[in-house]
Every structure is written in structure tokens, then in C-alpha cells.
Amino acid sequence: MISNFHEPSRCLAQLLLWPKKLEHFPFTIFYAQKSCWYGWDLLMFGSLLGPHRISLKTLTIRLLVPEGKKT
């Protein structure tokens, strides 16, 4: 599980190159006003996970926002 990841998308891309097969990808981002993941979108995740499209069985991407915050 990748949680509270605060690195640029290129770091996640390098991390995802490591396994030969990726079956489960649970990813949680915690809301932050000025975080390096600002601007990430589902198309970016599609590109990053593309090499694992055959082996990937589950995909969960969550954004946790504190109560009262707007995204």
C-alpha cells in the first residue's frame, strides 16, 4: 500500500518499474494545500500503471480531505 506519498510523479513512476507484476495498487493521498501531487489526474495514473495493465487486478485511488476543507 502506498499512503501519504509526497513525491513527484516521476518518483512514483520509478517505483512502479520495480515489480515485474503488480496485482494490487491501493494509493491514498492526504489533502494538502500545496503538495507535489497537485495536478495529478487519472490519466497520469493510467500512464504510470500501463506496464501492469495485464497483471493488475485491483486499483484503489483515494483522496482524504479533512472536514471543512475544499479541494
SS3 per residue for 11-26? HHHHHHHCCCCCCEEE
pLDDT score, position 3: 66
Query: In this predicted model, which residue has the larger pLDDT, 45 or 34?
Result: 45
Q: Average pLDDT of the chain?
A: 80
Whole-angstrom distance, CA of residue 47 vs CA of residue 53: 10
pLDDT score, position 68: 66
Task: Kindly tell me the sign of the dihedral angle through the C-alpha atoms of 25, 31, 37, 43.
Answer: positive
pLDDT band at 27 (very low <50, low <70, confident <90, very high): confident
